[in-house]
Amino acid sequence: MKSMDSANGRNTVRCPLRLVSVVLTILFAVSGCGGEHPPSGSKAADPKAPPEAFPQDPTATIQGDWPSPGTEHDPADVVALGARLAYAYDQDDVGITAFRLDSGDVAWHTTIPEGSSVAQAPRLTGNMVIGAFATTKSGSGTYADRHGISVIAMEAGTGKTLWTREIATDNAAGAAVPHVVEADARHVLVASYEQGYSETPPLSALLDTRTGRVIWTDADFKAVDLEESVAVGIRDDGDLAGKSTSDGKQQWKRDLQLGEIRATDPGPGLTFADGTAAGGTLLIDAATGTTRLDSGDTSLLGCRYDGWNTTICAGADGSGNAAAWAVDVRTSDVLWRLPDTSTNRVAPEITSAWHGVVYAQADQAMTLDIRTGKDLRTSVGPISPTMVNDGYGLIYDDSARTIDVYRAADGSASD
């Protein structure tokens, strides 16, 4: 087991309250919206790409009737972020709404017939936005209501339906709400389960992105991560497992002895695993199930992949102090970590990462170089965004249930 010390949609948080804002981040910061990872290591930091300054006031404010984010208050549980549009579910008129980033106006809305409930956010891959909906067909007489899952792919720019797939569920699973775990150019991974303890087993399904064809379903698998050749999830017995994306056969299974596992996607090829009984947070090789990194006495809350070749993980060290580590997703080497007593540097609160830049909050909003950890700008304006693309920074306001959109001060946003 390789130690992080030497190499360098959710459980009890083992860190000071001042770290709570760390989790107002996007564990999938990288794809900007949803699931498909750009080829890792394909680029180095480009100073022209990510915005590094934002105006005093938001350009627009987005408000919709979307589901509440999970316990981590992750903005990626609210919207999927594209270059010019943001996509969210509507709980009232059940469907998907696309909002214009430059104005906050609705670009399009599509209602899903018989849609009864939604969870988290739709996912964006290529020119498609994909959503999963619990559906209910009302029974009559002696016939009970029938529950199911509808998975729908839409054209991202127009909302035009490209395909729809119905997945039958056990009627006992009616309280479970499905969500799209991730989507890439080949596969869509959907999971349906109740939060916390439940006697209803989870249901996961893998679909073909192009056609919506169901490749496999598994009624004993809580999917948490999608990679090119394997889907990772938690079995009913608590073990972490990997299933082949081609035929659903189990490729590996591990009892991590982590208690109630909290697992997410920290970047391509890796699965983040943590739990109340864990001594440290693990980064697991998604293809083989082997441990790539073990954080030891540092408890990491989550990681944000920058879309190129680095993921930034934040949490608390053994003394309860804020900690931030940058990990190369190809080699699993820890490139740098804070705090660093030798240079009198503290760990800032990490809010997001994008294309070589870490967005953080210390005494004020700032940016760091994700590969070196060096301060880039110690003042980037009044906000440190919780979601970023090449032209905009977004802040999710959990209390107001709104999203403030800030157009990059350098004017790099595309019209």
pLDDT at residue 379, rounded to an integer? 84
> Residue 221 has which token pair?
């698998």
pLDDT at residue 201, rounded to an integer? 76
Phi, psi of 218 (to 5 degrees): -145, 120
Strand partners for 108: 98
Span 372-390, pLDDT tens digits? 999 999 988 888 999 999 9
d(CA 124, CA 210) in angstroms, rounded, equals 13
Classify residue 164 as exposed, middle or buried by CB count within 10 Å of its CB (0-12, 13-18, 19+): middle
pTM to 2 decimals?
0.85
Span 170-193, pLDDT tens digits? 655 556 889 999 999 999 999 998
The listed range with the strongest mean pLDDT (6-10, 51-55, 167-171, 389-393) is 389-393
pLDDT at residue 259, rounded to an integer? 74
Least confident stretch, 7-21, 184-198, 348-362: 7-21
d(CA 267, CA 65) in angstroms, rounded, equals 29
pLDDT at residue 22, rounded to an integer? 33
- Please measure the distance between the N-terminal and C-terminal CA atoms of the chain and give it in whole angstroms: 48
CA dihedral sign, ordered 6, 12, 18, 23: positive
Span 86-144, pLDDT tens digits? 999 999 999 999 999 999 999 999 999 888 889 999 999 999 999 999 987 776 776 66
- pLDDT bucket at 75, cuts 50 / 70 / 90: confident
d(CA 308, CA 330) in angstroms, rounded, equals 10
Q: Which helix (H) or strand (E) holds 189?
A: strand 187-193
Given a cut of 80, whether residue 332 has pLDDT beyond it is yes
Given a cut of 90, whether residue 318 has pLDDT beyond it is no
- Whether the ω angle into residue 266 lies within 30 degrees of 0, i.e. cis, is no
d(CA 176, CA 172) in angstroms, rounded, equals 9
> Residue 235 has which token pair?
């079995």
Which one has a higher pLDDT value, 403 or 68? 403
